[in-house]
Amino acid sequence: MRPIGENMNVNKLAGKFDKLKAGFFKHSYIQMTDNNELIIDRCERVIAYDENIIKLKLINNALIIIGTELTMQNFSTSGVIVKGNIRSLEFGEL
């Protein structure tokens, strides 16, 4: 019997998890409530952020949110909530 952890490579395991996750999560999802709230699932990273513009890296592209009094709440690995006066959304390549 081998000791626990022998032959366990955390980086290798993390790499396998990333590949598995990439197979399941091929899209980001956006839910908009009027022009004052966005719930974005599977946001990978915040690229830029101030009260008038937020640029996010989604799974397949970038999302630019333009408005006033923009705030981000509940940012986590599963997504983010954006609130404020949303004027426009723009999708682009990274």
54 vs 75: CA distance, rounded Å: 13
50 vs 11: CA distance, rounded Å: 35
Alpha helices in the chain (DSSP H): 10-24
Is 8 in a helix, a strand, or coil?
coil
User: What's the start-to-end Cα distance of the chain, in Å?
Assistant: 49
The whole-number pLDDT of residue 25 equals 66
70 neighbors 55 (Cβ within 8 angstroms): no
Question: How is the beta sheet containing 45-49 ordered, strand by strand?
Answer: 29-33, 37-41, 79-92, 62-76, 53-57, 45-49
Give the model confidence (pLDDT) of 56-79 as tens digits: 999 889 999 999 999 999 888 789
The whole-number pLDDT of residue 16 equals 73
The whole-number pLDDT of residue 23 equals 60
**Which parts of the chain sit beneath pLDDT 70?**
1-8, 18-25
What domains appear along the chain, each with residue ranges and CATH number?
26-92 (2.60.40.2000)
Which 8-state DSSP code applies to residue 34? Answer: T
